[in-house]
Amino acid sequence: MSYGFTDRYADQIVLVTGGAQGLGRAMVQRFAAEGARVHFADLNAAAGAEVLASLDGDGHAFDQVDITDPTAARTWIDGVAADQGRIDVLVNNAGIIRDNRIENISSEDWDAVLAVSLSGSFHCTQAAFAHMRERRYGRVLSFSSMSWRGNFGQVNYVAAKAGVVGFTRGFALEGAKHGVTANAIAPGLIETPMLASMNGPAHEKLVGKVPMRHTGQPEDIAAAAAFLCSPEARYITGVVLDVDGGIGIGSSIR
């Protein structure tokens, strides 16, 4: 897949979690198209192999990794650092939903959502930071959601994504003196398998709330990620970037 981009990421080592589908897939392809050597993780081995085969350039790799397991996350990241000599970028993208009203959310569904989005981001960042700090350079991008401000029937997802915002801002303060930035993206309604699972009337109702009156594409998120993780974004840290067609602005009376 050719995007005609420059080699902004030439020879950089980029890691992406949840890279086999949806937003992760788009980012993996974008970073590869810009010259990066991309190492991505996911639990879906078949989808991961398919994405790997689609990538431009050489030096890419897919690994089946459960990032909720701190040992597995560290083993993966330490292994990439040992093989490649460094880690330049970490994208904490993996996430799941287990939506329900609070009275119907099981403790297992609560734990699962926080384990992937929040604890998984922590495990991977902690492991990657050890390598970035040594070189005094790194970019960590984590994924929140427009839902972090609150959303009906998603208290577990909201808690996880709000946690990602707090985690990003706190880590940004620790990473700054070591040349490591930490930012987050809060996507709005993006055409992914997760959104596609929503029934027609609910989907149309949500789209109607977007000021731009349409959903975004995974490539819109990949473009924002490619900027925030680039050398050009060296003076940006602790930021949560809404990529949402304006839905985060609030309702208009007109």
- The tens digit of pLDDT for each residue in 157-195 reads 999 999 999 999 999 999 999 999 999 999 998 988 767
Per-residue model confidence (pLDDT) at position 156: 96
As a whole number, mean pLDDT of residues 60-64 equals 98
218-228 and 22-33 helices cross at what angle (nearest 10)?
50
Give the integer Cα–Cα distance in Å for 218 and 185: 12
In a domain, 3, yes or no: no
From residue 203, alpha-carbon distances to 87, 190, 211, 227 in Å are 39, 11, 15, 29
Per-residue model confidence (pLDDT) at position 206: 77
Band of residue 204 on the pLDDT scale cut at 50, 70, 90? confident
- The tens digit of pLDDT for each residue in 216-252 reads 999 999 999 999 999 999 999 999 999 999 888 865 4
Give me the CATH number covering residue 159: 3.40.50.720
Residue with the bigger pLDDT between 171 and 150: it is 171
**Of 24-28, 58-62, 191-195, the least confident:** 191-195
- The tens digit of pLDDT for each residue in 86-125 reads 999 999 999 999 999 999 999 999 999 999 999 999 999 9
Place of tokens 């490539």: 219
Per-residue model confidence (pLDDT) at position 212: 85
Per-residue model confidence (pLDDT) at position 150: 84
Per-residue model confidence (pLDDT) at position 198: 65
In a domain, 103, yes or no: yes
In a domain, 238, yes or no: yes
Task: List residues with catalytic annotation.
Answer: 157
Distance of CA 36 to the CA centre of its chain: 17
Average pLDDT of the residues of the chain? 92
Rg over alpha carbons for the chain, rounded to the nearest Å, is 17
Give the integer Cα–Cα distance in Å for 175 and 251: 36
- pTM, whole model, 2 decimals? 0.93
In a domain, 248, yes or no: no
In a domain, 211, yes or no: yes
In a domain, 7, yes or no: no
Per-residue model confidence (pLDDT) at position 252: 47
Instruction: Let me know: does 215 contact 189? Beta carbons within 8 Å.
Output: yes
Band of residue 25 on the pLDDT scale cut at 50, 70, 90? very high
In a domain, 252, yes or no: no
With a pLDDT cut of 70, the percent of the chain lying above it is 93
Give the integer Cα–Cα distance in Å for 71 and 129: 15
In what helix (H) or strand (E) does residue 143 lie, and over which residues does it extend? strand 138-143
- The tens digit of pLDDT for each residue in 118-140 reads 999 999 999 999 999 999 999 99
In a domain, 101, yes or no: yes
Tokens of 244: 């949402």
As a whole number, mean pLDDT of residues 150-162 equals 92
> Nearest-CA neighbor of 165 among 150, 178, 153, 180?
150
Give the integer Cα–Cα distance in Å for 155 and 166: 16
Band of residue 254 on the pLDDT scale cut at 50, 70, 90? very low
Structural domain count of the chain: 1
The domain of 77 spans 13-243
Q: In what order do the strands lie in the sheet with 61-64?
A: 61-64, 37-42, 13-17, 89-92, 138-143, 180-187, 240-243
1 pLDDT higher than 60: no
Give the integer Cα–Cα distance in Å for 78 and 80: 6
